[in-house]
Structure 1
Amino acid sequence: MDGYTAALTGMESGERGPGPQLPGKPWGARVWKLCGALALLALCGVAALLFLCHSQTQAHGIENNEHQQHLKHISTNVRAAIHLHGEFNPEVRNSSVLWRDGDGHSFFQGGLRLVNNEIIIPQNGLYFVYSQVSFRVLCSSSGGHTNRPISHTIMRWSDAYNDRKPLLSAIRTTCQRDAESNGRSKSWYNAVYMGAVFSLEREDRLWTETNLLKDVDGEDEKTFFGVFAL
């Protein structure tokens, strides 16, 4: 009875003992879970960065490829052409003007080139071939140039017929009767120009043959030789 009375007294006074405790998760498990989440976020960030870098690399690669294709397209569309400046040089064979590809307005492109004072044709096709030689002759009734003609010829060598043949040729008469004035010699100026379209083949060689080479005027753009593809 005393025990029962004490129990009732305790209940009436509102005192309660410790209730049942809910089972909780260990602290270590929470730490591992947090670390896993952070690692997952880091992996996602690295993957996004790698994807961005790969995309930029692909974009740069496409851009570079397009640039290279554009340059290739331009280079393949360059029209073959060559323009040479000429002058007399006693060290060159006696029948030819010395041609230069690096003086004045001279240039070459598209495969046409100057080799051993000859123009080499890069491929089969139609070409406009032209040349001019200017002369300054000292005329005198007692001199050897009196009424002596000047001549200029463009020659061609082709493997198709394994021979050399003239492609263009022109002749001018020098020293008119009034060339001598008051018993003194007089200079006579003239130019021989020629040009025409020809069907040429790969590895054809073109060169010139000119007489009176010592009288050739080698000033800029007075004597020239050129070819361009049509």
Structure 2
Amino acid sequence: MLEATVEPGSRSQSVKPWSKLTTALMVFTLCLASTAAAVLLFNMQSKVDLRHTLRQLAVEKAAIHLVGHHNPSRNNSIEWKDDGDQTHSQGGLKLKRNEIVIPRHGLYFVYSQASFHVNCLTSDAEEGLPQPLVHLSHIVQRWSDTFGKDDEDSYQTILHSLRTACQ
């Protein structure tokens, strides 16, 4: 209940107490504002956690740099070397049986670059005959024991490139 004093000589004013509807609307608005604040705080915390995870990934980079060497005994691939001047490995990545082994589960950004050195000059080229085309391919495949057996069908291609040289 609200009380009002009326001074003598002035008109009387009527002061109405808050209605139940007004009170309910005020409580609803306060609950809505509290819920919005809680959601905002939760979203800010989620963004902080995501930033922390991405920062941790950047700090704990797993990387490997290998050098390829032509080995005539390999039919479909080159032989990878990890013991050269420009090679390095960090984050637990290792070269085993000409494959990169990733020792633990996680999020990895896979990219690859292959540079080819091809000699296009042949004895036929000197006589003005067309030079033979050389097809160069670069394939990166992924294998996991969750794919099935340890055979060629268990590999999944994740990167593929094909170029032709000596045109």
Q: What letter is aligned with 1:104?
A: D
- Asked if the contact 1:139–1:146 (Cα under 8 Å) also holds between the matched residues in 2, the reply is no
Q: What letter is aligned with 1:156?
A: R
Query: 2: distance between equivalents of 1:160 and 1:139?
Result: 47
| Cross-structure match for 1:89 | 71
Cα deviation 1:157-197 (Å, max 9, x = unaligned):
12222211211111112222xxxxxxxxxxxxxxxxxxxxx
Task: Please list, as runs of the form range in 1=range in 2, the aligned pairs for 1:36-185 lying within 5 A after superposition.
Answer: 78-91=60-73, 93-129=74-110, 130-139=112-121, 142=124, 146-162=132-148, 163-176=154-167
Could you tell me the TM-score, scaled by structure 2's length?
0.51
Where do 4+ consecutive residues of structure 1 move more than 6 Å? none
Query: 2: distance between equivalents of 1:169 and 1:150?
Result: 11
Could you tell me the TM-score, scaled by structure 1's length?
0.38
Between the two proteins, the alignment pairs up a number of residues equal to: 99
Query: 2: distance between equivalents of 1:110 and 1:168?
Result: 22
Cα deviation 1:44-93 (Å, max 9, x = unaligned):
xxxxxxxxxxxxxxxxxxxxxxxxxxxxxxxxx643221111111224x2
Q: Which runs of 5+ in 1 are unaligned?
A: 1-76, 177-230
1:157 to 1:86, Cα distance in 2 relative to 1, 3 A: same
State the Cα distance separating 1:109 from its structure 2 match: 1.8
Query: 1: distance between equivalents of 2:145 and 2:96?
Result: 17
* Bigger RCO (CA 8 Å, 6+ sep): 1
Query: 2: distance between equivalents of 1:120 and 1:156?
Result: 10
Query: 1: distance between equivalents of 2:141 and 2:100?
Result: 10
Q: What letter is aligned with 2:101?
A: I
Q: Identify the structure with the greater strand proportion.
A: 1
Q: What letter is aligned with 1:120?
A: V
Q: What letter is aligned with 2:61?
A: R
**Which secondary structure does the structure 2 equivalent of 1:168 belong to?**
strand
State the Cα distance separating 1:103 from its structure 2 match: 0.4
Q: Based on CA coordinates, which of the two structures has the bigger radius of gyration?
A: 1
Q: Which runs of 5+ in 2 are unaligned?
A: 1-58, 149-153
Q: What letter is aligned with 2:138?
A: H
